[in-house]
Structure 1
Amino acid sequence: MKSMLVFIWGLLLVITTETRVEIMPSLGYIELNESKVFVCVVEGAVQEMKWLHPSGKEIRDREDERLQVEQADKIVSKLVIRDAQLQDAGRYQCVCRFDESYAETAAVTVTVVQKPTFLNPKTYHEFLEGSEAFVPCDVTGIPQPLVTWKHKGRDVMHTEDGRFLLTAQGLLIQGVRGSDQGLYRCEGRIVDRGEVQSLDISVVVNVPPTVRIREGKVNVTAGSGVNVSLACLVNGHPHPYISWIRDGGPVVAEPGRFGFNSDQSVLTIYAVEKADEGQYTCTATNKINSSRDDVTLHVTANQTEEEVPSPHSTGHTVQATGGQAATVGTLDLMKAQRKEQLAVLQSLAAQQEILVRRVAEIGAEISQLTATLLPVLHSLSPPEKAHD
């Protein structure tokens, strides 16, 4: 029993005299320009606690505004690193002396890091089509981040034409096109720490306007119910302003005479007259340049609407056989009226012939459809029951 008591007493003596020094947190990552506190905790009857700089020099309170030591109590000491800089990286030690001959040390390795950071970010750029476009994206970090670019969700380096080149400060696009316009995303990634920062950049490609008239010459016959549309195909960015000119003067909207669609690329002339004949010019203008194209409108007068002599006019008289006068004007008017009536009758006859032919075609189609469907309908009919 006595030996057992001696063993327990010795064990208690070992436990009570055990010492331990620990620094928290054990990982020494500090963000650049940020502050952090490291706490040194000791177990045991410590006589002295001090912090050593990576250079080996003791860190004394108030000697450096950014590196300070605070003694919370006899067993806790704090090292405060403020506004961390790259030169603050290194191995810091907390040295605890228990008596004249015995001391223990704990250490923490401080690493100054920086998240991916964009320097002087500019998120909007304009370029002229065909030029060399440089989109800046200067990304810094500790360690230096890996930079990638995306356009419309795809890595720009996966394009097949090789016009995209990555540089240390941004993205170079050779011979920029209208299709290159859009939102680009510049990503800075530090793989080891799983940190990603992104910057969205809008790229606008300005394109000079181009104009192309669908038909260079348009022929039309005048008439109260005849309308003609003159169209020009316009491209460019920003979208050009479109205007029309005739005989050196602007063509403006006029109810019942001239009208335009929403962007004025189509000019409609209502109830075309002989006086509307001439050259029309479509002009497209944006902040880059302007472009134009011409269309010639040729109007043929409608004979039925030409001015004819009055039935009551004697017109021009000539001497006929038997010495009697004949009124040429009246005869001409009657001939014109007969010609007009004949044209109407011919038009009606043609329409009737087309109608008859179409009815015959529809009848043939119905017969063919019936011949096709009858076998199908017979196959779907239930079989007749046999009579006893």
Structure 2
Amino acid sequence: FFICTAIGEPVRLEWFSPLGERITGSKRMMIQTEGSRSRLIIYNAIIEDAGIYRCQATDASGHTEEASVVLEIYRKFLPVTMQPRFASNLQMLRAGLLGRVRHEENKASELGFDHRELIHIPICRFQVLPNNNLQIRQVTKADEGVYRCEASVEARGEINFVDIAVVVNVPPVLSVFQQSFNATADYQESVTFTCITSGSPDPLVTWKGQQLEPSDKYIFSRLEGGRSMLTIRNIRQADGGAFSCKATNKAGSQERELFLKVFVQPHITQLKNVTAVEGSAAMISCVAEGEPLPDISWRRASDGQTFVDGDKVDAAREGIKKLINRDIYMYVSFIGPP
């Protein structure tokens, strides 16, 4: 690299190649200008880069002055050795980039991020340590990128560099729009659970429930924006219960529960006609299913008379009462309200 310093207050500092062309800057030839000081850096110099380079300073009146420097290619600079440290997640307080130079002469090193010199950025989170390590405190996703360590020898104008990538892993964040769902069994109804995830790298989403396997009944899908969905088709009573959505990546995992409540309409499953002798007790049996637990009531069809606790129907009433109590204990649900 070459440094050009102008005396006075130049409005423009420009560099010209041995062919007389103005150097505009590129990935291999970089120009860094600060006030009256400009530096031309040539990375990975080749034999064709040898020659006379000119630095031209122009003041406000348009007057120009220039100086020249000769570049001779005669020795390859020893390589830089790097030892990267990657930030694992946002909870890490520090990330280090190590840059060491092996050379028998005096040397200097600088560290940069995306071709910007970090040592000139007034951010307390970035610190170049005495051993030339770059320390980043309270790492955030914005710190992810390519960092460059440059090693130079001022006396001979030699420079070398190595780029190193810092990857910041962000733990998954999982949210759900709706946590509880209701459905009625045996009505061809469907329910869709939705989980929204974010994180870096993109989390892997898994669903847990009652023997969940991809099929016509259980459909898994993933859309843009981190939306993962589980659709349950043709809801039945056995589908009710808890399901979970879990997001996992290298930085951690997060899990949320979702619930499906399945209602079953009252349905009489057993009803038999009864023949009784006048003056005796008759036991009339009625068995039904439903969710939630329905009430059972009795009504005589001939005159519409209803029977509840407190009516004087003697043995018939007692028989009905005992039957209802027994069935409530044995079955989950009963016939619905009258």
Question: Is the contact between residue 118 and residue 126 of structure 2 (CA under 8 Å) also seen in structure 1?
Answer: yes
1:51 partnered with 2:111: yes
Distance 2:119 2:251 in 1: 36
Distance 1:261 1:107, change over 3 A: farther
Residue 52 of structure 1 deviates from its aligned partner by 0.7
122, 126, 141: which one pairs with 1:69? 126
Question: Who is 1:142 aligned against?
Answer: 200
TM-score normalised by the chain length of structure 1: 0.50
Paired with 2:324 and 2:198, the residues of 1 have a C-alpha distance of 47
Structure 2 unaligned blocks of 5 or more? 1-77, 329-333
Contact 1:124 1:203 in 2 (8 A): yes
User: Which structure would you say has the larger Rg?
Assistant: 1
Pick closer, same or farther for the CA change 1:20–1:142 going to 2, 3 Å: closer
Aligned match of 2:174: 118
Q: 1:49 to 1:182 in 2, by over 3 A?
A: same
The corresponding residue for 1:209 is 266
| Cα separation, 2, equivalents of 1:194 and 1:39 | 20
Name 1:284's counterpart in structure 2: 335
Deviations 1:344-366 (A, max 9, x none): xxxxxxxxxxxxxxxxxxxxxxx
In the alignment, residue 51 of structure 1 is paired with which amino acid?
L
Provide the C-alpha distance between the structure 2 equivalents of 1:144 and 1:167, rounded to a whole number of angstroms: 15
SS of the residue aligned with 1:175?
coil
Change (3 A) 1:36 1:239: farther
Change (3 A) 1:33 1:261: farther
1:35-92: per-residue Cα shift (whole Å, max 9, x none)?
A: 54214353668654432112x1111465457xx421332x24333154523x543211
Matched, 1:94 2:149: yes
Per-residue displacement from partner, 1:101-147 (whole Å, max 9, x unpaired)?
34454442122333443223654322233322111122333343343
CA shift for structure 1 position 20 = 6.1
Asked if 1 retains the 8 angstrom alpha-carbon contact of 2:220 and 2:231, the reply is yes
- 1:164-219 deviations in whole A, cap 9, x for unaligned? 222323112233222222232334455xx59665433222212222234511x311
Within the alignment, does 1:185 sit opposite 2:214 as a pair? no
Q: Identity, % of aligned pairs?
A: 17
Pair 1:98–1:284, CA change in 2 (3 A): same
**Code of the aligned partner of 1:207:** V
User: In angstroms, what is the RMSD of aligned CA positions?
Assistant: 3.8
Cα distance between partner residues in 2 of 1:213 and 1:202: 32
Q: 1:227 to 1:36 in 2, by over 3 A?
A: farther
Task: Identify the match of residue 132 of structure 1 among 190, 207, 231.
Answer: 190
1:221–1:118 distance in 2 versus 1, CA, 3 Å = same
- Contact conserved, 1:208 with 1:236, CA < 8 A, in 2? yes
- Quick one: distance in 1 between partners of 2:139 and 2:258? 31
Q: Secondary structure at the match of 2:170?
A: strand
Distance 1:253 1:113 in 2: 71
Give a deviation string over 1:223-276, Cα, whole Å, max 9, x none: 5xx543322222122222333445544411689752535864759xxxxxxxxx
CA distance in 2, matches of 1:252, 1:197: 53
* Mapped partners of 2:197, 2:139: distance in 1: 21
> Greater RCO between the two (CA within 8 Å, min separation 6)?
2
Counting helix residues as a fraction of each chain, which structure ranks higher? 1
Q: Kindly tell me: are residues 19 and 138 of structure 1, through their superposed partners in 2, closer, same or farther at Cα, counting changes over 3 Å?
A: closer
- Partner AA of 2:232 in structure 1: I
